Amino acid sequence: MINTNPTKGMRDLTPKEVELRNFVKSTIFSVYKKYGFSEIETPSTEDINLLTGGNGGDNEKMLFKILKRGEKLDLQSTTTENELADLGLRYDLTVPLCRFYANNRAKLPSPFKVIQIGSVWRAEKPQKGRFRQFTQCDIDIIGNKKATAEVELILATSAALVEIGFSNFKVRINDRRVLEGLANYAGFEKSTHDKVFIILDKLDKIGIDGVANELKEAGYPEDAITSFISIIEKSTAEKLTIERLTALLPDLDSEVLAGLAFVTETVASQANGKYSIDLDISLVRGMGYYTGQIFEVQAENYNSSIAGGGRYDNLIGKFLKESIPACGFSIGFERVISILEAQNFEVPASGKKIALLYDINIAAFTDLLLKANELRADGNIVSIETKSKNFTKQLDNLVDQGFNFFGVYDESRPFEMKPLSKKA
């Protein structure tokens, strides 16, 4: 007998699961579309050199590589893994977007406001809530160097989350240049900053004392650690304003501060009490390609982030002869789905879902079909089903499948439709 499990770490999605995913996708998509973004698609595979070029951080270690085909594959003389593979499955949508933009720039408007919703693949160790194939849901603005791009991305993403049903979430915002300023001011050597930020990034998990301990264990100067931790603690003591930030880190560039002030004030003016935006100098975001503001959305009552993004002004420049500013925001689609599933979220019904039952020996099958189409023309979902012997059980099963009406078709009687719900 053949093994019928899906690929390790990947999932078969049942109708109920796909229904929720489709609802969330189409909600996000329609909000993004209303904000003037339009969708593109790139292939699932990219050249192996692109995917191992150093822009994907740890994701590059989790690549699904695709074997060369035909004559290109020479098993005799091949000694290394990379000689065997010419393609890989994409691990994110940002690197393919940069390649797409460089390849299609002449056809695209500037600024280019773009949606991508698609699968990405990472050969991670399988664990709860982590899958080797999962959906990403990104918007990006390419070609706008001003912070109006950050504002549009945060407003559109927040609007999408509100439309799905999230409220009271928190948009945390920082700037990579503030992080640099913080590390400099504390006295960490420039060459150690990235490693310091990797430890700071664990703050949500290990707490401020945990961060201090790990920095000590890593052997950084004690006075730098003390100063670093102290500034972070002061910054979180009460709501962080631009004024307080300026007082804490007096060396910060005024343009960086003006950008943060513009984005936080503008977003706050549009939030209508449905969410907040908070300066947070401990926000790191993993990817090395960020160059300016970075942001993350934290859902109420959930510790982990449901969206994240930032400005990456130098990444597209690697593909073109000139530098192109860019900024993006990605909704953690799988996280959103698992939160909704944990809340037993029900996809809003659109119209009736009718089971049209008939006796298997029916003579008037064509009349039954006409009746079904008549009901469909009224906007209903109609599934034709043979009436089974165990009728009560059949009705229960239909409820499980989401049907909320049924009718038994009998050419000798007028058709009657009845609401359907499970016996208590």
Q: How far is the CB of 66 from a copy of itself (least distance, A)?
A: 5
C-beta closer to a copy of itself: residue 21 or 285: 21
Peptide bond into 414 cis (omega under 30): no
Q: How far is the CB of 322 from a copy of itself (least distance, A)?
A: 12
Is 267:151 a contact under the CB 8 Å cutoff? yes
Q: How far is the CB of 177 from a copy of itself (least distance, A)?
A: 22
Q: Which of 22, 315, 261 is nearest to 164 (CA)?
A: 22
C-beta closer to a copy of itself: residue 240 or 382: 382
Match 């038994």 to its residue by tokens. Answer: 408
C-beta closer to a copy of itself: residue 252 or 372: 372
Is 9:64 a contact under the CB 8 Å cutoff? no
Buried (b) or exposed (e) across 258-273, using 16+ Cβ within 10 A? ebbbbbbebbeeeeee
Distance CA 104, CA 334 (A): 30
Q: How far is the CB of 224 from a copy of itself (least distance, A)?
A: 38
Helix (H) / strand (E) element for 409: namely strand 405-409
Distance CA 416, CA 407 (A): 6
Q: Left (φ > 0), alpha (ψ -120 to 50) or beta: where does 299 sit?
A: beta
C-beta closer to a copy of itself: residue 247 or 268: 268
C-beta closer to a copy of itself: residue 107 or 423: 107
Q: How far is the CB of 292 from a copy of itself (least distance, A)?
A: 19
Amino acid at 296: E
Q: How far is the CB of 174 from a copy of itself (least distance, A)?
A: 22
C-beta closer to a copy of itself: residue 69 or 389: 69
